Structure 1
Amino acid sequence: MREEETEMSTESAERDSHFFLIGEALGYLYPAVLRAVASVKLADHLADGPRTAADLAGRTGLDADALYRVLRLLATRGVFEEDAEGRFRLTSLGHALRSDVPLSARSAILMLTHATFWQSSGELERCLRKGGTVFDDMFGMPFFEYFAQDAETAATFHDGMAAMSDWENGPIAAAYHFPESGVVADVGGGQGGFLLAVLARRPGLHGVLYDETHVLAGHRPPGAEISGRWRTAAGDFFTEVPNADVYLLKRILHDWNDEQGVTILRNCRRAMAPGGRVLVVDAVVPKGNDPHQAKAVDVMLMGALPGRERTEAEFAGMFAAAGLRLSRVVPTGTVLSIVEGVAADDASG
């Protein structure tokens, strides 16, 4: 290649890099406008067909010009689609933005873009410089203490977590061969959606939904086929957990650092019946450069919480420290896996 051709090729690559990185820097605007339309339940007004921004503004009391500009940007991401008459329709990708559909993502969007995550993510440079979370410094207390002090903020978190889990609970429950009988304890189980999915598949199982009192107050009522096999128990999983044959820890360990996570696992090991299992339902970070939701969530956690997403080897180390042995990792068809732990001296697992 001649010298001038090499220079042109280098210049072209530099332009491509510049354009790409500017686009990435503007990427924060997509979740910003997604939160804005989710907050006002805009998608609900498109359930019966496309409408202009002016029509939508009249129905919602919003500013028509601002609304058009927001919808136009989201149309570039396939959430909405603008037709030749300037009407916007909700696409199949945007369907779950509605609040009135069975698997609505609206509450999850409001949680993930809440100020607690948004503002701490904006200060990640401080994490790079000093390590650890920046949340405590920014909000004056640890993440869960901040949420527990305000009912509205806590509801945003718990409703959001439930919305993230609703579509995945069934597939995850179906991916694991739960015992026909015994007791399953959902530790830090929130509103109880996952435990209900497990009990619905195993009529011989009984369940305990274990969480803090203010969380249990918002638990989902079980159906008639489950109500007699279900109870709630309030407590602190850093202190103790109920006796059970199987422990569920769904999206729990990733909130905490290794030492805290080992404490939770050790409490499960101590209370576990002989032959019992601890099932950690979390993302397992894959090797390589391919995109995976866990890699994004891991950075979000870095800003707000002491926890992290983990690799299989990192889970194995935590299990060993708690007197458990990682026996297998079960894929579920979702972004989460079931990391199964048995007693370290259990040769049958």
Structure 2
Amino acid sequence: MRSIEIPTLRRLANIINEAIDKIERVYAEAEIPLPSLDAPFNPADPAEALLQNPTVEGVTLNIVAAAAQLSATVASPSVSAFNASQAFHISACLRAASEVNVVEVLREAGGAGLHAKEIAAPSKTDPLLLARILRLLATHNIFREVTPNVFANNRISSVLDKGKPSKVLFQNRDERLTGTSGFAALVEFSADHDMKAVAMLADTMLDFKEGELGFNRAYNTTASFWDWLHRPENVYQMQRFDIGMRGTAAMESTDAILRGFDWSGLPTGSVLVDVGAGIGHISLVIAQKNPGLRVIVQDLKDTIKDSKIYWKEHLPSHVESGMVDFQVHDFYAPQPVPNAAVFMLRHIMHDWSDELVVRILRHLRDAAQPTTKLVVVDKIVVSAARVPDSETEAIPGAKRPLAPKPLLPNWGVGKAEVYYYDLTMHCMVGGVERTLQHFVEVFDKGGWKLERVYHPAGSQMSHIVGVPSRLTQDTRPQSRSHM
């Protein structure tokens, strides 16, 4: 009997229906309702915690991917392409709403919402224009238009809440983001500098100039993003960037570092070198669970000052026992620690081109013992095409689940963040998010063999582990710092 192939539309619909059935079952068993899109986000709500349930989290990804692919399949291709070309309006309007503190004004107004005239009054902005901005966002399910020109927060808009009275935000603009979770700062920075830099992508491709990035073209500067950010006139931009980076950290559980590489398998007294550590908040989490490890926190001078304060506040026992050292170190200089059990590079490699990364890795290789491990914590880009098993999948732990057919194997829109971030890194700092094969090649040029990979549950980051191998010809790049 000949099997009948299920049409693509029906298969996509089935994926969505099956996912909804599973979500409803989980919430029914807990006897609580699914969080409403119309209600503000409440992180303390037990219903929100259920969304982190592994079953719910997995099928939610299927829904997002299938819904987007279903829409793309049936919608007019010309309309879809044109709408995609205008997606920048969403970014611009989101930033505008955050800059004039709409979320906080609406939070104080309550669920009934507020007329655009009243929303605009504290910022002295044009109420008609603000209504048009909020209507576009509401059309994309960010904010809610209760009645014509009356708007209220919803589950998505409310995550931009800075947690302060709106009056305080308007009184001191320079300090409006200080003391916040950092998420609003992250969104504003992304919809400001990142968007402007990426807008120059085609320009820098068609009129290529060595060393020029989208950021340079957008801001008419030859300075690197890092140097530009540290200029005296950009103090507010620097502050917003720093706070936004903390917002990024808040999106990833610090415990994820414990669910990959086996830190507990290192012998007591082993040395973990946190290279380009920032304040070392991740190596501190490792030390809390593995107090027998000696940690060396390495970064530039100003950051190391903050790191010492942070460790004294959060793990004084490690400081007092001398189990943590703080070193001022530029990772483009030779590595001064000769007895490391592990060199950890977290959120470092994606900031830099292959040439620069190879230089970092070679300095670590020069200082490594035969037993030293390299642990790179970064995202791994997955192809949007279904490909047969490759040599890289022979690496232990490297293979990961793919989305069920007919979904795109990388879950498409459901996991688009890494692809956005990849181009942001290119346009802002010349960095790159890498595929696994790309990591293999860069490791090899830097004198390391990619040995295995861990994909910690509930994390977007992978732990990519290398061991010392041969060295190849040297190159001489420059620059410093990391995003």
TM-score range, shorter chain: 0.7 to 0.9
Contact 1:134 1:303 in 2 (8 A): yes
Contact 2:215 2:428 in 1 (8 A): yes
User: Residue 106 of structure 1 aligns with which residue?
Assistant: 184
User: Residue 48 of structure 2 aligns with which residue?
Assistant: none
The answer to whether 1:268 aligns with 2:380 is no
Describe the SS at the equivalent of 1:233.
Answer: strand
User: Residue 156 of structure 2 aligns with which residue?
Assistant: 93
Contact 1:184 1:246 in 2 (8 A): yes
Describe the SS at the equivalent of 1:287.
Answer: coil
User: Residue 310 of structure 2 aligns with which residue?
Assistant: 221
User: Residue 250 of structure 1 aligns with which residue?
Assistant: 346
> Hey, what's the Cα distance between the residues in 2 that align with 1:16 and 1:37?
30
> Hey, what's the Cα distance between the residues in 2 that align with 1:45 and 1:202?
45
> Hey, what's the Cα distance between the residues in 1 that align with 2:372 and 2:100?
47
Gaps of 5+ in 2: 1-72, 165-179, 319-323, 386-411, 471-483
Question: CA 1:84–1:14 in 2, change beyond 3 Å: closer, same or farther?
Answer: closer
Q: Structure 1 length as normaliser, TM-score? A: 0.83
> Hey, what's the Cα distance between the residues in 2 that align with 1:232 and 1:285?
33
User: Residue 237 of structure 1 aligns with which residue?
Assistant: 331
Higher strand fraction (1 or 2): 1
Shift of the alpha carbon at 1:201?
3.2
Which one of the candidate residues 330, 336, 345 is aligned to 2:454?
Answer: 330
User: Residue 195 of structure 2 aligns with which residue?
Assistant: 118
The answer to whether 1:66 aligns with 2:129 is yes
> Hey, what's the Cα distance between the residues in 2 that align with 1:66 and 1:227?
53
Question: CA 1:339–1:14 in 2, change beyond 3 Å: closer, same or farther?
Answer: closer
Describe the SS at the equivalent of 2:420.
Answer: helix
Deviations along 1:212-254, one digit per CA (max 9) or x if unpaired, are 2244455572364513434543221111345243232222111
Deviations along 1:303-336, one digit per CA (max 9) or x if unpaired, are 2222211111111111112221111121133332
Shift of the alpha carbon at 1:124?
1.0
Describe the SS at the equivalent of 1:281.
Answer: strand
The 5-angstrom pairing of residues 128-147 of structure 1 reads: 128-129=205-206, 130=208, 133-136=213-216, 138-147=220-229
The one-letter amino acid of 1:321's match is K
User: Residue 198 of structure 1 aligns with which residue?
Assistant: 286
Describe the SS at the equivalent of 2:463.
Answer: strand
Contact 1:278 1:341 in 2 (8 A): yes
Contact 1:107 1:163 in 2 (8 A): yes
Question: CA 1:85–1:153 in 2, change beyond 3 Å: closer, same or farther?
Answer: closer
Contact 1:158 1:190 in 2 (8 A): no
> What fraction of aligned residue pairs are identical, expressed as a percent?
24
Select between 31-40 and 60-69 the one with higher mean Cα deviation.
60-69
Contact 1:257 1:308 in 2 (8 A): yes
Which one of the candidate residues 249, 256, 272 is aligned to 1:172?
Answer: 256
Gaps of 5+ in 1: 1-12
The answer to whether 1:46 aligns with 2:106 is yes
> Hey, what's the Cα distance between the residues in 1 that align with 2:104 and 2:91?
18
Describe the SS at the equivalent of 1:204.
Answer: coil
> Hey, what's the Cα distance between the residues in 2 that align with 1:46 and 1:199?
43
The one-letter amino acid of 1:126's match is D
Describe the SS at the equivalent of 2:87.
Answer: helix
Which one of the candidate residues 468, 478, 483 is aligned to 1:343?
Answer: 468
Shift of the alpha carbon at 1:136?
4.0
The one-letter amino acid of 1:202's match is N
Select between 36-45 and 94-103 the one with higher mean Cα deviation.
94-103
User: Residue 7 of structure 1 aligns with which residue?
Assistant: none
Select between 207-216 and 164-173 the one with higher mean Cα deviation.
207-216
The one-letter amino acid of 2:127's match is A
**Please, what is the CA RMSD of the aligned residues?**
2.9
Describe the SS at the equivalent of 1:262.
Answer: helix
Question: CA 1:242–1:41 in 2, change beyond 3 Å: closer, same or farther?
Answer: farther
User: Residue 406 of structure 2 aligns with which residue?
Assistant: none
Describe the SS at the equivalent of 2:441.
Answer: helix
Which one of the candidate residues 181, 185, 202 is aligned to 2:273?
Answer: 185
User: Residue 210 of structure 1 aligns with which residue?
Assistant: 298
Describe the SS at the equivalent of 1:83.
Answer: strand
Shift of the alpha carbon at 1:75?
1.4
Deviations along 1:43-97, one digit per CA (max 9) or x if unpaired, are 2333342331333223444432222222222112222112237543322223321
> Hey, what's the Cα distance between the residues in 2 that align with 1:119 and 1:321?
34
Describe the SS at the equivalent of 2:273.
Answer: strand
> Hey, what's the Cα distance between the residues in 1 that align with 2:290 and 2:238?
31
